[in-house]
Amino acid sequence: MRKKVTVIGAGNVGASCAQYLAESNLCDVVIFDIIEDMPQGKALDLMQAAPVRGYDVTITGTNDYKDTAGSDLVVITAGMPRKPGMSREDLLNSNIKIMDSVMEGITKNCPNTMILVVSNPLDVMTYRAWSKSGLAKNMVFGQAGVLDSIRMRTFIAMELNCSVTETQAMVLGGHGDSMVPLPRYTTVGGIAVTELIDKDRLDAIVQRTRGGGGEIVKLLKSGSAYYAPAAATVKMANAVLNDRKTLLAASAYCDGQYGLKDVYVGVPVVLGANGVEKVIELKLDDSELGELQKSATVYKEIIDGLAK
Q: For residue 247, what are the contacts with CB-CB under 8 A and spacing of at least 6? A: 268, 269, 270, 271, 280
Handedness of CA 128, 2, 250, 280 (dihedral sign): positive
Residue in 303, 295, 307, 256 with CA at minimum distance from that of residue 279? 256
Question: Is 175 in the active site?
Answer: yes
Q: 10 Å Cβ neighbour count for 296?
A: 26
Contact of 224 with 213, CB cutoff 8 Å: yes
DSSP category for residue 199? H
**Beta strand pairing call for 171-172 and 180-181:** antiparallel
Alpha-carbon gap, residue 69 to 81, rounded angstroms: 27
Alpha-carbon gap, residue 127 to 169, rounded angstroms: 25
Q: String of b and e for 218-235 (b: at least 16 CB within 10 Å)?
A: eebeeebbbebbbebbbb
Residue in 141, 156, 149 with CA at minimum distance from that of residue 204? 156
Q: 10 Å Cβ neighbour count for 53?
A: 12
Q: Taking the mean position of all CA atoms in its chain, how far away is CA 302?
A: 19
Contact of 265 with 251, CB cutoff 8 Å: yes
Catalytic residue among 175, 210, 235, 300: 175
Which residues are tagged catalytic? 175
